[in-house]
Structure 1
C-alpha cells in the first residue's frame, strides 16, 4: 500500500483526499477542516496537519504512514471596500436627526422652539414649542404638564422623550401631537432652537423630514443650505419618526475624502475613477486584460485600500511590497452605512460604495515555504502538485456522467476559478477574484450588522419570520408549526434557520429586504464571475461553444447559487449542475482528488 494525500488549501476550508497509488488507484478517504490563517501563508500548516490527522484517523493510520503529500498552488485573495464618496457631515452645536424608535406616539408634523417640560409655565400663548422630556420625568407627570399647557392654549406642537413612553404619554393627552421617544442622547438636544418633529401613521414612513425640500420649507433654507442638508434627509428615509433641530449658526461643515482612481496595468495603462462605478471599472479592466498589476491614486480612499492589500500580503508572505502584484480585481456596486455625526442615537446613512476584491499574485516562494514547513513537521515528502483549476478539472471528471470536453467552475471562498479541458486533454485555466467571502462582506456591510458570523449564516441558510410562539413562516411562504412553544425572545423576529437553531437578526429591515440583499450579493459576485471565467476559458471566448459546466467548491453547496448560475448559463444553451466528486463527495474535494490523480498519472508516465 502506497498512500498519497492531496491537500487543497482554500480561503475558507482545507480539504484532503487520500488514495492508494500502488497498482490501480483507489481512493480511500477524505476530510475537511477550516483553513488556518490566510490562504497561501505559513499559518496554513496547522490546518493541513489537522485535516491530514482526521483523514488518516479514518483509516486507523498515522500521518507517518503516508508516502507523499501533494499541495495545490494557492493564490491569496483579499476583498475590501472602496467608498465612492466618504462624506462626514458635522453640523455645528450638534444638530440632531431622528432615529426611528419602535414606539413613537401620535401622528403628524410639528415645528417650534425646543424647551424643557418645566419651562412650559413661562411660555406665552403665541409661542410654538416642542417639549423635551428627560427620563427622570415619568409619563403621568409629563402628560399632566402637557395637558395643563393645552388648557392655557399653548401651541405645543410636539415632544421629545428620553424614555420609551411615547405611546402612553400620547394616550393621556387631550390633544394629539407627535411624540418621539427613546432619545438616548437627550442631553445633546440644544434648547431654544427651531425644531421639527414628524411621526407617520402605523405602517407608513415619514414624508416631510426625509425630503430635502420639506426641510427647506420648514426651516426656510436657501438653495445653498438645502444642498448641505441632503445627508440628513437621506438618513431619515424609511423612518417612521424623526426630529431635526436647527443650530444657532445652522451651517454645515463637510469633510470629503476623495474616492480616487484605480490605475490598471495590462496590455496598456488605464486610469479609471471609482465614481464611475463597477461597470466603468470592469469595462476598463476588459480593455487592458490580461492584468499585470493595479495601483491606486495616492491620498485617496482606493489608494489606501490597494496599499493596505499590498502591506498585508507582504507581511504574511515575508516579501517586499514591490514584489506583490495584483493579477485580478472584481468591482461591484454596493452600499455602506456611514455614521452621521450629531445623531440622536447613532444614526447611519447608506452611502454608495464600490466593493473591490483583489487577487494578489505572489511568487512561488510562499508555497515552497509551506511545503518545507509541512515536510519538517511530518517527515513526509511534500510536493507542490499543480495549478488549482487544473487539478479541479481532474477531480470534476470523476463526477458520474461527465466527459471531456468539459468546463469547471470552482467557486470557493476567495476566488472563482475556471478551467476548460479539451478532448485531447489540453487544459486552459483562469483565476478571478471574488467569491463567498465577498458575498458575506456585502451582507455584513449593506445590512449594517457588524457581525461576520451572522452574515455568513444569512448567506448560507434560509430566513423566516416568527409569527407566533408556535409557528414561523419561511421566506418562500412555507409555514412550520411546533408542538412546544418557541423562545419568547424570538416572537415577531426575523431569524436565520440554521439546521435546528434559530438565530435572531438584530436589524429592523424586513425579511424581504434581507433576502433581496443576500440574493443580490450572490448574483453580483457569482453570476458575474461565472460569465467572466467562462468567457476567458471557452474556445475563442465563445460561451455558446461550451456544452457542459460542472460546479465545484464550497459555494456550489449553497442552496441558491447553483440555481442562479445554471439559470444564467441556460441563456447560452449550457448544461450546468453541481459536481459529485468520485460519486460520493458532492461538489467538495475536487482539487484534493485532482492532486492525487495528477500524482498517479505522473507516476504511471
Structure 2
C-alpha cells in the first residue's frame, strides 16, 4: 500500500489530501489545512507544509514518516502593493490651512473672523469678529461664562475652536448659537490674529461652504491659482459635519507633486508604455494588447518604479536567484483611493487621493520549487516530487464534484492569484495564471478605509457588518434587526462591528456601516469579478466567454459570503452556469489542487508514467 499526500501551497493556506493506493484502487483517506508560512514558492513554506501534514494525520494511526510520497504543486508567488497616482499635497510654512471633523461639534452655523487666544479675549474691546482658541487648561463652564459676558459687552464672537471635547458642553451654556469645533489636538499650532472660518452643520447634514474650493476662495479672497491649491483641503472636508479653515498671509501654500511614473509592459511581440495616472482601465487595456506579458518595468525614480523593483528584490532574496532574472509575468491594476495626510493639519486631517493598486506576479524558474522539494525531503525523510501546474491539478480536483463532467472550466481564486482552466472532451487542458485575488482586496479595503490593521481589513473582507444600536439589539447590514437576551458589551454601543461567528469586533473608524460595506463590495468586484472575466476570456475557445457552458469555482475565496454570488451574477450575462465546487463530494470548494495532485499521480501510475 502507498500512502500518498498531495500538498497545495497557496498564498494564504497550505492544503493537504492524503490517499491510500492499493494496486489499482485509490481511496482518499484524510485532509488537512494550515496557514502558509512565508511567501508562496519559497523555502519558508516548509514549516507550513509540515504543519498541514500533521493536521491531516492528527486523528489517524499514521505519522509523516509513514507517507510513501509527497506531491507538490508548482507555486508562483504573487506580491501586491499600491502605486499612488500623482498626489498634490498642501505644504505649509509658518502656519496652515486646515480642516477638522470632530465627532461631537457644538452649536451650528458659519462664522468668519480673526483667531484670538482666550487670554486675550478677556481684555478684548475691538469690534471686528473674533474666533477664540480655548486650550485644555480652561474649564468649559468658565469659558461659556466669559463668552456670554463678552457677548453682553457687544464683542462679536462668531465661532470657537476648542482643544478638549467640550464643544457641546460650551454650546449648551451660551446665550447665542455659534459654530464650535472641538478636539483640536494641536491647538498650539493654530496661529493667532489670522483670518479663519468655522462651520458646523445641523445634525444629519454636512458642511457646504468649506467643502467647496470656491467657498474657501470666497472667504479668503483667493485668486484662481491659489484656489487650485486648496482642492485637496476641500476634498478632505466633503461629508464632514464641521470644519475650521485658517489662512495666514505670511504662510506660503505650495503644491508638491509626487510622480507616480510610467509602466513599460513588454510582450512577446509588442510593448506598451503607459502613465499610472491614466488609470487602471488603460493599464489593463495595454496588458491585454501586448499579451503574453514577458516582463513589466517601472520608470526609475518614481513611485511605481520603486514598487516593482522592491517586488523583484524581495523575490530575489527569497528564491536565491539573481534579481535580473526576476520577470513580472502579469499585473492587475485597480483604481482606488488612499487617505493622504494634509501637511500642517492640527488634528491629523487627511484627504482621499486617487491611487492605483497593483498586484504583480513574479515569474521565477522551477528551481525554487525544486529547492523546496529537496529541503522538505531532507527534513522529514520522505520522497518529495513536483507533480504538476496548479491550474491543471485544480481542474482534476474540481471534476470530483458530483454532477460535473467534461468539458468543464474552473476558476481558482486564492489569496494572491486567480487561475482559470478548461478541459475539453479530448482531455486537452488550457489554463492561465493571473495576479490579484484575496490579498489585494484586503489591501484595497485597508487603503480606502484608512485602517492601520491588516487583520481588521481581512475581517471586514470576510464577514458581514452590523451597527450596535442599543445594549440589547443590533441592525445588520441587510437591514434586519437582531435582539439579545443579555446586554452587549457597553464598549460596542453605537459602533460598527464585524461579525465573525459569535464574536463582534468593533471597527475603530468614523466611517458609516454603509460606507464600509460599499468599499468592501466594490473592492471585491474590481478584483475578483474583473480577474474572473479576464481569466475566462484567455482560456475560452477563440477568446469567447459565451462558448463556455459550465464554470466551477474553487479555492478559499469561493467560501466568501459574497464572491460566488458576484461571479454567478457577472457570468449570468453570458448565459454561463456557475457555482461552487464540492471536491470529492465533501470538501466544498477547498482542496481541489491537493486532490488533483494525488489523482494526477494515480493516473500516471496506472499509465506507467511514474515508473
Q: Same fold (TM over 0.5)?
A: yes
Residue aligned with 2:8, SS: strand
Q: Which residue of 1 aligns with 2:76?
A: 75
Q: Which residue of 1 aligns with 2:202?
A: 201
CA deviation digits over 1:429-461, x for unaligned, max 9? Answer: 100100000000011110001111111111111
Q: Which residue of 2 aligns with 1:403?
A: 405
Between the aligned partners of 1:148 and 1:91, the Cα distance in structure 2 is: 36
Between the aligned partners of 1:413 and 1:132, the Cα distance in structure 2 is: 50
Q: Which residue of 2 aligns with 1:16?
A: 16
| Counterpart contact for 2:99–2:233, Cα < 8 Å | no
| Counterpart contact for 1:5–1:66, Cα < 8 Å | yes
Residue aligned with 1:346, SS: coil
Between the aligned partners of 2:511 and 2:459, the Cα distance in structure 1 is: 16
Between the aligned partners of 1:422 and 1:46, the Cα distance in structure 2 is: 37
| Counterpart contact for 1:163–1:182, Cα < 8 Å | yes
Q: Which residue of 2 aligns with 1:210?
A: 211
1:521 aligns with 2:500: no
Listed as ranges, the gaps of 5+ residues in structure 2 are none
Listed as ranges, the gaps of 5+ residues in structure 1 are none
Q: Which residue of 2 aligns with 1:337?
A: 339
Q: Which residue of 1 aligns with 2:457?
A: 455
Q: Which residue of 1 aligns with 2:165?
A: 164
| Counterpart contact for 1:29–1:58, Cα < 8 Å | no
Between the aligned partners of 2:126 and 2:203, the Cα distance in structure 1 is: 31
Residue aligned with 1:155, SS: coil
CA deviation digits over 1:48-93, x for unaligned, max 9? Answer: 0011112122322110100000000000000111111123321222
Between the aligned partners of 2:19 and 2:407, the Cα distance in structure 1 is: 25
Q: Which residue of 2 aligns with 1:254?
A: 255
Structure 1 length as normaliser, TM-score? 0.99
CA deviation digits over 1:316-366, x for unaligned, max 9? Answer: 111111100000000110001111111121111100001010011001111
1:220 aligns with 2:224: no
| Counterpart contact for 1:72–1:595, Cα < 8 Å | yes
Range with greater deviation from structure 2 (585-594 or 238-247) = 238-247
| Counterpart contact for 1:125–1:152, Cα < 8 Å | no
Q: How does 1:15-34 map to 2 (within 5 A)?
A: 15-23=15-23, 24-34=25-35
Aligned-residue Cα RMSD (Å) equals: 0.9
Q: Which residue of 2 aligns with 1:286?
A: 288
1:383 aligns with 2:385: yes
Residue aligned with 1:25, SS: strand
Between the aligned partners of 1:122 and 1:220, the Cα distance in structure 2 is: 30
Q: Which residue of 1 aligns with 2:374?
A: 372
1:122 Cα deviation after fit: 3.4
Q: Which residue of 2 aligns with 1:557?
A: 559
1:99 Cα deviation after fit: 2.0
Residue aligned with 1:27, SS: strand
CA deviation digits over 1:475-507, x for unaligned, max 9? Answer: 111211111000011111111010000000111
Between the aligned partners of 1:86 and 1:4, the Cα distance in structure 2 is: 54
Match of 2:298 among 296, 299, 303: 296
1:96 Cα deviation after fit: 4.3
Match of 1:541 among 540, 543, 568: 543
Range with greater deviation from structure 2 (552-561 or 93-102) = 93-102
| Counterpart contact for 1:170–1:177, Cα < 8 Å | yes
| Counterpart contact for 2:98–2:246, Cα < 8 Å | yes
Between the aligned partners of 2:32 and 2:287, the Cα distance in structure 1 is: 38
Between the aligned partners of 1:387 and 1:501, the Cα distance in structure 2 is: 39
Residue aligned with 2:279, SS: helix
Residue aligned with 1:292, SS: strand
Q: How does 1:85-164 map to 2 (within 5 A)?
A: 85-164=86-165
Q: How does 1:184-199 map to 2 (within 5 A)?
A: 184-199=185-200
Between the aligned partners of 1:570 and 1:236, the Cα distance in structure 2 is: 40
CA deviation digits over 1:386-405, x for unaligned, max 9? Answer: 00000000000000000000
| Counterpart contact for 1:135–1:163, Cα < 8 Å | yes
| Counterpart contact for 1:117–1:145, Cα < 8 Å | no
Q: Which residue of 1 aligns with 2:394?
A: 392
Q: Which residue of 2 aligns with 1:6?
A: 6
Between the aligned partners of 1:371 and 1:142, the Cα distance in structure 2 is: 73
CA deviation digits over 1:214-235, x for unaligned, max 9? Answer: 1111111111111111111111
Residue aligned with 1:157, SS: coil
Between the aligned partners of 1:220 and 1:87, the Cα distance in structure 2 is: 21
1:21 Cα deviation after fit: 1.7
| Counterpart contact for 1:447–1:514, Cα < 8 Å | yes
1:112 Cα deviation after fit: 1.1
1:254 Cα deviation after fit: 2.3
| Counterpart contact for 2:122–2:146, Cα < 8 Å | no
Between the aligned partners of 1:528 and 1:71, the Cα distance in structure 2 is: 29
Residue aligned with 1:21, SS: strand
1:11 Cα deviation after fit: 0.1
CA deviation digits over 1:504-537, x for unaligned, max 9? Answer: 0111111111100000000000100111110000
| Counterpart contact for 2:106–2:180, Cα < 8 Å | yes
Residue aligned with 1:8, SS: strand
Between the aligned partners of 2:344 and 2:567, the Cα distance in structure 1 is: 44
CA deviation digits over 1:185-232, x for unaligned, max 9? Answer: 011111111111111100111111111111111111111111111111
CA deviation digits over 1:143-200, x for unaligned, max 9? Answer: 1111111011011111101111111111111111111111110111111111111111
Match of 1:577 among 549, 556, 579: 579
| Counterpart contact for 2:95–2:251, Cα < 8 Å | no
Between the aligned partners of 1:56 and 1:383, the Cα distance in structure 2 is: 20
1:140 Cα deviation after fit: 1.0
Between the aligned partners of 2:237 and 2:136, the Cα distance in structure 1 is: 24
Between the aligned partners of 1:478 and 1:157, the Cα distance in structure 2 is: 44
Structure 2 length as normaliser, TM-score? 0.98
